[in-house]
Amino acid sequence: MKRAEKDDLIFKALADSRRREVLDLLKAAPRTTGDLCAHFEATLDRCTVMQHLKVLERAGLVIAVREGRVRWNYLNATPFKEIHDRWISPYAAEAVNLLSRLKRDLEED
């Protein structure tokens, strides 16, 4: 899969607030699929939670490991680092440079 296609899957996965909530939960600690379903039971049915997990897995943001009948879900931080390195860091560095030049120019006046 091309890098651009992987990035598209990641950004699509991050576009939904419920999937971001799942990632926040997994950031705190690995959780079983049952735990995640219980967390969302007031707003989402089990099938919908499973669909969200499938999108997150396809994007590589979640790693699921079966232990008997239990499925553990783990956050995979590697894609976040790749997105940061490719998209966030270069733009942030440029913004800092622009602000530094602006500050210097204002101080010279």
* pLDDT value of position 50: 98
Tell me: the pLDDT tens digits for 31-58?
999 999 999 999 999 999 999 999 999 9
- Spell out the CATH class of 1-76: mainly alpha
* pLDDT value of position 10: 96
Domain chopping of the chain, boundaries? 1-76, 77-109
* pLDDT value of position 36: 98
Q: What is the pTM of this model?
A: 0.81
Q: Please state, in angstroms and rounded to a whole number, the distance separating the CA atoms of residues 39 and 41.
A: 6
31: left (phi over 0), alpha (psi -120 to 50) or beta: beta
